[in-house]
């Protein structure tokens, strides 16, 4: 892989999932794509995605397997050391990870599963951003995207730690945006809505996946925002059209 310090570097969290992989495929086909760092707990999925990208683009792509559910602050420090060594910059972080063990009652949820799921979806993003902050602030137009599930759906019974984490991510995004409003770093809170992803099909197996839009629709909107200049300092919001199961 050729390191070009003139190209932006984007770190995509949850890159082996539906939205993350769609974003990587779409942006890598641009005339001058950013260098991509693809992070996910699914090493095999990352390797398959990287192989696929190699056949369709000359974009510089690297993978970084890491499970946010068990990662400690030191793991993110090691991650940033590797990014700085390979790229010497970081321009964007896209948080589109989603880890859910499925719907279940609170009283049937093991305490360990609760804590791991909460950490994967909320604690992990916070620790990762803390590790990335210094590099993001050095970028001419740093960008951070938080992707959250629709609160009106997940703030209901049986969604457990995953549902709680989604509300937490909204608050987290707002706090980051307000605290860094006087910098060049800009934040987006994205509500992708229903998409044709493995996670959604696992939760609603009786619904035909064809009723939901392809993740590439949302990915295109994210790329457009990531590459927009002169954004407002306040937290930006992208809410995709709602497609609720009947």
CATH of the domain at 146: 3.40.50.720
Q: Quote the number of domains for the chain.
A: 1
Whether residue 245 lies inside any domain: the answer is: no
125, with CB counted inside 10 A (0-12, 13-18, 19+), is buried
Pairing of strands 186-191, 236-239: parallel
For residue 246, the model assigns a pLDDT of 37
Q: Which two tokens stand for residue 183?
A: 């910098």
47, with CB counted inside 10 A (0-12, 13-18, 19+), is middle
Q: Is 222 left (phi over 0), alpha (psi -120 to 50) or beta?
A: alpha
**Structural domain of 50:** 9-103+110-212+220-239
87 compared with 155, residue with greater pLDDT:
87
pLDDT tens digits for range 6-18: 799 999 999 998 8
For residue 237, pLDDT beyond 90: yes
The mean pLDDT of 155-179, rounded to a whole number, is 92
Whether residue 176 lies inside any domain: the answer is: yes
Whether residue 200 lies inside any domain: the answer is: yes
pLDDT tens digits for range 67-94: 999 999 999 999 999 999 999 999 999 9
Whether residue 47 lies inside any domain: the answer is: yes
Q: How far apart are the C-alpha atoms of 41 and 74, rounded to whole Å?
A: 17
């Amino acid at each position: 892989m050729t390191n070009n310090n003139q190209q932006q570097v984007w770190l995509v969290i949850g890159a082996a999932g539906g939205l993350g992989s769609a974003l990587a495929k779409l942006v890598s086909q641009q005339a001058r794509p950013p260098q991509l760092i693809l992070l996910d707990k699914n090493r095999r999925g990352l390797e398959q995605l990287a192989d696929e990208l190699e056949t369709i683009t000359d974009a510089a792509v690297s993978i970084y397997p890491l499970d946010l559910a068990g990662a400690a602050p030191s793991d993110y420090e090691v991650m940033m050391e590797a990014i700085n060594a390979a790229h010497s910059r970081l321009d964007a972080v896209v948080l589109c990870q989603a880890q859910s063990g499925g719907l279940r009652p609170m009283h049937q949820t093991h305490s360990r599963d609760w804590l791991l799921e909460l950490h994967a979806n909320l604690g992990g993003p916070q620790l990762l951003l803390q590790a990335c902050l210094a590099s993001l602030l050095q970028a001419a137009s740093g960008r951070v995207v938080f992707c959250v599930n629709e609160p009106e759906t997940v703030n209901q019974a049986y969604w457990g730690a995953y549902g709680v984490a989604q509300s937490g991510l909204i608050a987290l995004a707002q706090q980051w945006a307000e605290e860094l409003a006087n910098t060049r770093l800009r934040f987006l809170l994205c509500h992708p809505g229903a998409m044709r992803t493995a996670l959604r099909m696992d939760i609603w197996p009786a619904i035909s996946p064809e009723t939901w839009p392809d993740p590439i629709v949302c990915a295109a909107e994210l790329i457009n925002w990531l590459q927009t200049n002169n954004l407002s300092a306040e937290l930006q919001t992208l809410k995709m059209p709602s497609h609720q199961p009947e």
